[in-house]
Amino acid sequence: MKKLIIANWKCNPETFKESVKILESLKKALSTNNKTIICPPNIFLRELISQYGDDFLFGAQNCYSEQKGAYTGEISPNMLTNSGVKYVILGHSERRSIFKEGDKEINMKIKKVLEETKLIPILCIGENRGERENSQTHEVIYRQLNECLKGVSAEQAKKIIVAYEPLWAIGTGIHADEEQIVDAKIHISSILCDIYAKEIVSKINIIYGGSVNSNSIEMIVNKCLMDGVLVGGASLDPVEFSKISAC
Ligand code: PGA
């Protein structure tokens, strides 16, 4: 089955020229049957889609929970789809911790996206270091999934990608180990099975993110059987990212 290899460029690079350079190198280096999805900063999205829309799929790193109106600084789900964007990351831990987004807000965004657009939401969940050390991982995942998916129908849920991204693994160079990833995957599946029927849950992709690189990809997709990865830092390096995509 095709894996989802998602690049989260975050607030990088600083110029459009540099973003073209990354995609040019990636295009040359990439040899994969997997689905490669690039999530650049919003300002580059439209132009990159017009230049590379045949080579890659594109996603946004966030969106707002309303379609239009007096919401200074926000980008709506319709604006993204009207620009050719296919995916949107929602509830990334940096949105949660730096910009204080809560589960309720993330739930509103997910519902808007699913009710009114064809965008595929990539819902990020995961515990921080303190929560892991206090054995609260399961509790945190349970709360985040239940709150973020409140009011999402089975038909809508089928489209969602759930990204397990433990905060302590993001940008630290230390990825979760096999046991931790498998445990999270089983826990996520069982929570989803409490909410939706088994045949719906079997369609929901569950991926991993947090210091993914070419050394850990094999373990994540082949041993832990994750449906893909969300890659931050390593996605800005075309050689490294193409090795990850080749899994
Ligand atoms: P990282 O980021 O790969 O740099 O750890 C992952 C993410 O934040 O999605």
pLDDT value for 1: 85
Q: Which domain holds residue 124?
A: 4-245
- Mean pLDDT over 141-162 rounds to 98
- Mean pLDDT over 59-72 rounds to 98
36 has pLDDT over 80: yes
Determine which residue's CA is closest to atom 6 belonging to ligand 1: 232
105 has pLDDT over 90: yes
Report which ligand 1 atom has the smallest distance to the Cα of 124: 9
Question: 92 an active-site residue?
Answer: yes
How far away, in angstroms, is 199 Cα from ligand 1 center? 30
- Res. 113 pLDDT band, cuts 50 70 90: very high
Report which ligand 1 atom has the smallest distance to the Cα of 8: 9
Predicted confidence (pLDDT) per residue in 201-246, tens digit: 999 999 999 999 999 999 999 999 999 999 999 999 999 999 999 9
Asked if 113 contacts 90 with a C-beta cutoff of 8 angstroms, the reply is: yes
Mean pLDDT of the chain: 97
33 has pLDDT over 90: no
From 4, 5, 6, 8, the mutation candidate for ligand 1 (largest count of ligand atoms within 8 A of CB) is 8
How far away, in angstroms, is 229 Cα from ligand 1 center? 10
pLDDT value for 170: 97
How far away, in angstroms, is 117 Cα from ligand 1 center? 26
Determine which residue's CA is closest to atom 9 belonging to ligand 1: 232
Predicted confidence (pLDDT) per residue in 69-80, tens digit: 999 999 999 999
Question: Model's pTM, two decimal places?
Answer: 0.97
pLDDT value for 55: 95
- Mean pLDDT over 27-43 rounds to 92
How far away, in angstroms, is 190 Cα from ligand 1 center? 25
Question: 165 an active-site residue?
Answer: yes
Q: How far is CA 36 from CA 57, 96, 210, 240, in A?
A: 6, 25, 17, 14
Asked if 148 contacts 103 with a C-beta cutoff of 8 angstroms, the reply is: yes
Query: How many independent structural domains does the chain possess?
Result: 1
Buried-state track 80-117, b at ≥16 Cβ within 10 A, e below 16: bbebebbbbbbbbbbbbeeeebebebbbbbbbbbbeeb
- Mean pLDDT over 99-109 rounds to 98
pLDDT value for 32: 76
- Res. 30 pLDDT band, cuts 50 70 90: confident
- Mean pLDDT over 8-37 rounds to 95
Asked if 122 contacts 79 with a C-beta cutoff of 8 angstroms, the reply is: no
- Mean pLDDT over 65-93 rounds to 98
Q: How far is CA 123 from CA 24, 25, 30, 32, in A?
A: 28, 29, 26, 24
Predicted confidence (pLDDT) per residue in 167-191, tens digit: 999 999 999 999 999 999 999 999 9
Give the CATH number of the domain where residue 197 resides: 3.20.20.70
Q: Which residues line ligand 1 (CB under 6 A)?
A: 8, 165, 170-171, 209-212, 230-234
- Proportion of the chain above pLDDT 90, given as a percent: 97
Report which ligand 1 atom has the smallest distance to the Cα of 230: 9
Tell me the residue type at 62: N
